[in-house]
Amino acid sequence: MGRAGMATETAMTMFWLTAGALVFALTLLALVMASRVLGQRDRAQALASGLRETLVQSEARAAALLEATLTGIITLDSSDRISSANPAATALFGYSEAQLEGMAFAELVPGLRPDVLRAGTTQDVTVITRDQRSLPVAMSLGEVRHGNEYLLLASFHDMTAQKRLEEQQRAFAQAMDDTVRERTA
């Protein structure tokens, strides 16, 4: 073999060695990138799992608070129907949760038009219980976003004891006035 043949063979060997080294380097780079992507995917999955667990715990905590509160709470959907009620609301109104769900707000609070209800307000109203008793309550309104829908949240605090105390105070004040007038005369 002549010099030209050896040079060609050496050049070809160098070409194939360089090509092989390049393929090896690219394969190694691809493995490193795949390892990083898999590592990031695993970290993302772990993060998503942790967030999911945090959300579940947060929802459970919120549900427990709603169940434990002594204030009756209902939510109204966009058609002014009750969409949910906590145990305090069922006890206050005398209906089961299933009976309250879907009930028109006007059935519970007659005389109060739902279209005038505004979040961030509190007012004294009279509700009608299942056994047709009139019950004085303080009603506070708020707004809650549920998915793409805004729900009106109404909380009710029974004012019966307070009204009874106010009436007793008025009667006592009247009796005192009558006594003072009698003694003055």
Residues 24-40 pLDDT 10s: 888 888 888 887 877 78
Q: Would you state the pLDDT for residue 180?
A: 80
Could you list the beta-strand ranges (E) of 17-112. 72-76, 82-85
From CA 171, how far away is CA 164, in angstroms rounded?
A: 11
Does the predicted TM-score (pTM) go above 0.85? no
> Tokens 């194939």, residue?
16
Sorted by sequence, the CB contacts under 8 Å of residue 168 that are 6+ apart come out as none
Q: Which tokens sit at 32?
A: 């490193």
Tell me the C-alpha to C-alpha distance, in Å, between residue 138 and each of 13, 44, 75, 179: 93, 48, 16, 35
Nearest by Cα to 153 from 135, 140, 170: 140
Write out residues in the chain with pLDDT < 70, as ranges.
1-7, 11, 68, 114, 161
Q: Cα angle vertex 133, ends 129, 134, to 5°? A: 90
Q: Would you state the pLDDT for residue 146?
A: 73
Sorted by sequence, the CB contacts under 8 Å of residue 9 that are 6+ apart come out as 1
> Tokens 């019966």, residue?
160
Q: Which tokens sit at 74?
A: 């209902």
Q: Would you state the pLDDT for residue 2?
A: 62
CB atoms within 10 A of CB 154: 25
Q: Which tokens sit at 184?
A: 């003055």
